Structure 1
């Protein structure tokens, strides 16, 4: 076998002189090509993949060292001899540290060149023998190990090595596909269940179909060897479910490829799809079509996501729980689900969004000292545990719905009084919130205009006026305790102190400060 040589030098006489100074063939080398500058040398290196490149260290434009550094980014095993003059000797010695095999001083001496060629030839021979030994070992490896090395080898650019692995596998089929499985069971029995699962997979796929079972980190891998491309349907799902027994699992199916050298692409896609397993039910086989269907965004614009100045979902959930309305809770949870899908949240983001929303609602519900508040505190912990431990998004949603149903039942279910009585109670409890008729109408399932008329007929007050009066009555209590006007305004739900001042004067007939001074003075006089 002749080793290929590329000569890169900007001086024609050097290029031609090197061709004739020694008998290359007798030393086991063949000059395949030459290049007159670094850029051309880099291009020809990529085309012919020489075993040895002899390169001038100083050339206009791309220097020899530049060329070597560019090659080293993709090829860590290439061999180089550099040419340098005496003035560049120190520079050349530094280049050796960068991984070149040696250097030659100009003008090139025949004996020195022969010594370097023979040394490099010996290096190349040792590397060839090492590769042959490794390939012989690999040929005797189990097929699972060959697949794993083909997928996870350190140097995916080593085409010769990959071809040897493919040959060692000895497979011939028009299509290949990677399937990845994530299986999980009870903590005490999971190890045994996994062993049984792998054995059943081996029987169903390896022994019957000639597929290959392998390990992919914490996942189980299957290289499907098929005569057609239709392996991701119900048949595969049923085979996996039968092998799993009672063990829960998710699977992902990479695209079919025509050659074993391309299975890395199928593996990468299967790995990407399996990251979405949280959103699929137990026993699902996730393929690109299922993934796209889950995260379809055609209707995102139709989703009524919360605006910056509108109530947050946590607030709306609190309102729904406070009025003991199952329907209102269901509506808010549906909004939360739509938001998670429309924003293509990953598993961690979904858990975080649910935790934040539920904590906001349950925190407000737990803030009082009543038995209902104590009950809400207990359920707060249960809900967060459910969110963090759910094995799938479907299980998370179902458990949260169930918990809230239980909570409303323990609160006593929906209030048997009229909707209007519930509204009045709600306003008296939540006067400090940003209360709007439209929001309550949504919670109770009414048209806001119609509900406003009912409210006016029942109370004799328009909704906003009723809220203002409740707030002003509470403000009078706080002012009598000696709180400052701006503190009272904020506590009763007015972010603007001037607006509070005008409302207070309208309903009380005096300013908040005057009322405070008079009421606080009377209290102090009575205490003395």
Structure 2
């Protein structure tokens, strides 16, 4: 509802406008009145109304001075002036100040109704224009961010223009991708969020003003809805494409590992480093190899080999292409924690094997056989090592939960690739690594709360630098703040 104020030094006028005008008919609330210019300006600053009705002659500050001050602070405020002086100079000054209507006293109800109607119409037109302008600008901003994600430095100038003065404050950028719209990263003081994309991919780009702040992560840490993948934080907006690509990979792994929650690219391990020499289809094959999807791998190999046969490569080029895929497959195998040389007790010289093949079909069959062998070996190693590795990881977490403990560090401790560690941990524990670590920390926090330690001390002991972040995570976990838990449910 719109708000209006009425200013006049005549009591009868104020009461008449209060009682004889049905303000609600215009969608207006009469929020206050004043009988002098000084009080009127003060009331204006408190209420911030949409519409002002004021007399010109008032003690303290006349109506025209008042309107001038109001328009300087809030140029969109609509003003109606009434006065017993219908002099040309007053009218000219009022018009110059942009008043909606100038009414000569004594004013009647019909004139005031007409004036209010004009003001409301002008407000509606202004609001509609402002809304369209905001939507138009937002559309341009989203488009510029989309271009930034695709082209980086080439699109930086256009992004800066749409982002405005805040672009000079940006000290970092992080990209998140989800299949569904998400409010996990609300707007904050230390960063600015731009949402773009749509359809099958919803993108959230966080432009950081203070890269050290963890404020933007608060909602993500305990996010339990649709999976969100995030890339690393880079110092320049021009690096947005790198974070975007990483976020897409994290999302893909997250859907396989979790189906829900926040998955960070950093937690996927070194095997996720960019591979610029690999095509999208080749990367898809390695993805299935990492997650142990043999059926998916063989299906993608068959699709790749169709392209291979139609490419009409020379024998030398074909050798290089297929060897590259097999060597990347062996690199994936190394991340399981086993020794890939166990696959070939008598030694393995793939470059010699493929050189002895004479036809394209022989090379295609060789690739399929090699990748299937690598997959079978990976699955067998995972089966043998799962329980022992996770037991070792749980002990390590139990000793080190009180500091910044990344999944990569725990995976290194058990001598396993981070991606495989994620898979095995979820299979064995039926919970992701990050959620398990949070669970350990929160249960320890409950014990410490019962011992009477301060929230800040407990926060630091269970691995959180900021007590506010710890309190937010605890409330999501326990359904109450640490203070409420201490008072009502902490063990004695």
Common fold: TM-score over 0.5: no
Choose between structure 1 and 2 for higher RCO, CA contacts under 8 A separated by at least 6 residues: 2
Give the structure-2-normalised TM-score. 0.32
The TM-score normalised by the length of structure 1 is: 0.30
